[in-house]
Structure formats: C-alpha cells, structure tokens
Amino acid sequence: MFEKHRQKALEAKMEQNQSKFNQIKKPTNVLFNIILSILSLLSVIPFIFVIIISFTDENTLAMNGYRFIPEKFSLYAYQYIVSAGENIIRSYGVTILVTVLGTLLGLLLTGTYAYALSRKTYAFKKFFTTMITIPMLFSGGMIANYLIVTKVLMLKDTIWALILPLCLNSFNIIVLRTFFKTSIPDAVVESAKIDGASEWRLFFQIVIPMALPGLATIGLFLTLGYWNDWFNAMMYMDSKKWVPLQYLLIQIESSMDWLASNKSMMGVDGIQAAANLPKETIKMAIVVISTLPIIFAYPFFQRYFVNGLTVGAVKE
C-alpha cells in the first residue's frame, strides 16, 4: 500500500516538473511577442511603402526621393495603366479564367495521380513514380517545350497554352502523395470498397473531404503559379486575345523604358512626353495591381495551408 502511494507521489511530482518546464514565463512570453511583432512589421512595411510610392507624384519622387509621407500624392501611375482601358480589363479576365481553370484542372490531375501512387495495392506504382522523378532531374529545354506545344499539340495562340504547361508538377505530386499516405488510413479505403464504393466515388466522396488541407496547399501553389505566369504568354501568344495581366504589365513597362531611352529620336514632343512618364511610380503600381488579388485570396487558404504543411510532422 505504501509502495503504491509512493509511486503515485513520484508520478505526480514528475508531471509537475514537466508542466513547470513546459510553461513559458510571462517576461519571456512578452519578449517573444515583441520580437514576432517586429518581424511581422518588417514583412508588411515594404509592401505598404510600395503602395505609398505608387501614389506619389513622379516629380516629387525625383526631387525628394522615397518617403513614407510624400509631399504630393498622385494617381497618374494608375491612370496611365488604366489608359490601356479595354486591354487591362480583358487581361484581368484572361488571368482570372486561366487561374481558375488551371487550378481546378491541376488539382484534379495531381490529386488522382498522387492518390494512385499512395495506394500500396497499385501495381504500376514504381513505374509512374519513376515517370514523375525523371522530369525533376532532366529537362528537354526551352526549344523542345516550344516545339511540342506549338507543333505537336498545336496550342499556339490558345488559352490551353497558358494552362497545360503548368497544371502538372512533379513536386506537387510528391507532396500530395505523402499527404495521402499519412492522412488516409487504409482501413477507411478498404471499408468503402467492402461497402461497394467505386474508385471514383471513393476518391470524390471520401478521400477529398479528408484531404482538404493537402489539396488546399497544392491549390495555393497552383494559384500563385498561374497568377504570376507571364513567360508562357511571351512564348506562345502572338495575338492580344489571350494576353494575361502580368505579361500586359510587362509590355507597358517595356514600352515606357523604350520611350525613355529613345526620346531624342522623337523630337521635342517625344522628349516632353517621355519626361512626363511615371517611370518609378508605375513600377510600384504594377506591383500593387498584380499582388493585391493574391493577398486578399490567401486568408481563405491559410487555415488549410498550415495544416497541409504540418500534417505528419507528429504522429501518435
């Protein structure tokens, strides 16, 4: 009896010591909060500074340099971009369409591929794992990609030239395969098959609801990739019909740089027009226009994104 009481006392003391070591003292907690607040401000302040510069008058910026509180505000940089009018609206629509379609198609292809590789009973798992590993190590190069997209697939000047090259990625497949392995128990899959569920029903009604954090993580990667892509448009688009926003903004900036470099060739009017161009502020305005939609979209992904990255780190 005495031995049992002694054992319980030792266990209680050990738990007390563990809880004592696991607690953070109040001064330490305050210090950590201050440090994390400073780091957060250091991450946010540069973007706020970019927004302020985009609303600064170009002449004031040239005279006084970069300031958090400019002497004169101006919307000329945004007016110059919006002067493209129909082109800006069309390019925004193209970018949104490509991002939505590409993300959905990429999730479907990546999800089905990764789920098949995550199942131990899949007979061709080794072969298809090798198939996704090779592109991570070797690439056919830009010329081979261009010839396949334009000559073999005949996708030049079509919206699919902006979607298909980015929708499947070896890294995304490996990440999602690992997520399926660690988060989808074999017992759940076997139970569904015993109940008569088909593979498609099993995937869409059981696997996907359980894999939302992993799918949201890959969805965020795909969304960022499609939204920021301009290289495929430069490679495969000759007409203006399917020019995305990022590539249009690059064209506007390139046109301004060309005017500034060749103003002497255009006479007095050309020199005066080049002098009035918002060279610095328009660059900041381009950053704001191309970044804000993603910033507003990120909070919707954040909860699943964190879970998707941390799943499997600690398993009971």
Buried b (16+ CB within 10 A) or exposed e, 178-189: bbbbebbeeeeb
For the ranges 40-44, 64-68, 245-249, the lowest mean pLDDT is seen at 64-68
Q: Which has more confidence, 282 or 162? A: 162
For the segment 59-67, the average pLDDT, to the nearest whole number, is 76
The pLDDT, as a whole number, for residue 132 is 87
Residue 313 reports pLDDT greater than 50: no
For the segment 222-231, the average pLDDT, to the nearest whole number, is 89
What is the distance between the alpha carbons of residues 116 and 120, in angstroms, rounded to a whole number? 9
For the ranges 100-104, 124-128, 224-228, 273-277, the lowest mean pLDDT is seen at 273-277
For the segment 41-53, the average pLDDT, to the nearest whole number, is 85
The pLDDT, as a whole number, for residue 226 is 92
Instruction: Give residue for tokens 């591929």.
Output: 113
Contact 311, 177 (CB under 8 A): no
Q: Which has more confidence, 152 or 29? A: 152
pTM to 2 decimal places:
0.74
Q: How far is CA 205 from the centre of its chain?
A: 27
Residue 7 reports pLDDT greater than 80: no
Instruction: Report which residue type is found at 64.
Output: N
- What is the per-residue pLDDT across 240-286, written as a single tens digit (0 to 9) for each? 888 888 888 787 777 766 666 666 665 555 555 555 566 677 778 87
Category of 178 on φ-ψ map: left (φ > 0), alpha (ψ -120 to 50) or beta: alpha
Residues 6+ apart with CB under 8 A from 91: 243, 244, 245, 247, 248
- What is the per-residue pLDDT across 98-110, written as a single tens digit (0 to 9) for each? 999 999 999 999 9
